[in-house]
Amino acid sequence: MKIELLKEVDSTNIYIKKYLDGREDVIVCAERQSGGRGTKGRSFLSENGGVYLSELKFYENIAASDAFMIMARAAVAVCKTAERFGAFPEIKWPNDVLIDGKKLAGILIENIFSDGHVKASVVGIGLNVFNDLSGLEDIAISLLETTGLPLEVAVVRDMLIEMLQVEFTFEDYLSRVRFLGKEINILENEKKYRATARQILSDGRLEVEVDGELHILSAAEISIRF
């Protein structure tokens, strides 16, 4: 697999798409992004001191209905990386990686579908190592804040690349989701309600219980708060 290291780029997720015409898996890392992209059209602060990485992977035989496993694999790889350095994040469904309720890492996945299958996917990961999170103290956290260790970005980056190659199971994902069985707040369009989180299905949908009734919700339609 080809690995490309850049000093600066607008967004590794955008840059890596130039490799879509090839067939080789690629990872692109940048020390800084000038236009880092987040989910839901948001931007993602990407100053020096974080790992900013995109992985382009081609698939032969993944049904579109199994695309959630790509997301789960990325979240687990980030958690396993943090764990190697003594930090123990949780996964906030579907794929935010949190410590003390604050974001340690964000994941942006862009899948390319054809004939009911995932043909390729771009997995973009931004992981806070010691980057300046001023102004975001209430919502973001770094490995340095968590562990007190002066970690080098390159060491964390290489560990993340290694963890992305490791086989994972759905149980690896579920074991890091800590809200199952607990009350959560659900935001669905303009509607807000409380529910008990019951389980995450293998297609990534969340089953919740409201007033004794089970409902199955998709991450595209709702957001959750603890």
Site for ligand BTN contains 89 (CB under 6 A): no
Q: Site for ligand BTN (CB under 6 A): how many residues?
A: 20
With CB under 6 A as the contact rule, the residue among 19, 26, 31, 36 that binds ligand BTN is 36
Comparing CA positions, the residue from 93, 96, 50, 102 lying closest to residue 207 is: 93
Site for ligand BTN contains 204 (CB under 6 A): no
User: What minimum distance in Å lies between the beta carbon of 168 and ligand BTN?
Assistant: 19
With CB under 6 A as the contact rule, the residue among 49, 89, 94, 106 that binds ligand BTN is 106
Tell me the residue type at 157: R
Residues counted in the chain: 226
**39 exposure class (CB count in 10 Å sphere: 0-12, 13-18, 19+):** middle
User: What minimum distance in Å lies between the beta carbon of 207 and ligand BTN?
Assistant: 24
- Residues in contact with 192: Cβ distance below 8 Å, sequence separation at least 6, in sequence order: 185, 186
With CB under 6 A as the contact rule, the residue among 19, 52, 93, 130 that binds ligand BTN is 52
User: What minimum distance in Å lies between the beta carbon of 116 and ligand BTN?
Assistant: 26
Please say which residue, 52 or 130, places its beta carbon nearer to ligand BTN. 52
Site for ligand BTN contains 49 (CB under 6 A): no
User: What minimum distance in Å lies between the beta carbon of 106 and ligand BTN?
Assistant: 2
With CB under 6 A as the contact rule, the residue among 32, 38, 57, 83 that binds ligand BTN is 38
Do 143 and 128 touch, CB atoms closer than 8 A? yes
Please say which residue, 33 or 121, places its beta carbon nearer to ligand BTN. 33
Site for ligand BTN contains 18 (CB under 6 A): no
- Residues in contact with 22: Cβ distance below 8 Å, sequence separation at least 6, in sequence order: none
| Beta-strand runs (E) in the chain | 2-9, 26-33, 50-63, 90-92, 96-99, 102-114, 117-128, 183-188, 191-200, 206-210, 213-217, 222-225
- Residues in contact with 226: Cβ distance below 8 Å, sequence separation at least 6, in sequence order: 101, 179, 182, 184, 185
Site for ligand BTN contains 77 (CB under 6 A): no
Please say which residue, 128 or 146, places its beta carbon nearer to ligand BTN. 128
Site for ligand BTN contains 108 (CB under 6 A): yes
Binding site for ligand BTN (CB under 6 A): 11-13, 33, 36-39, 42, 44, 46, 52-54, 106-108, 124-126
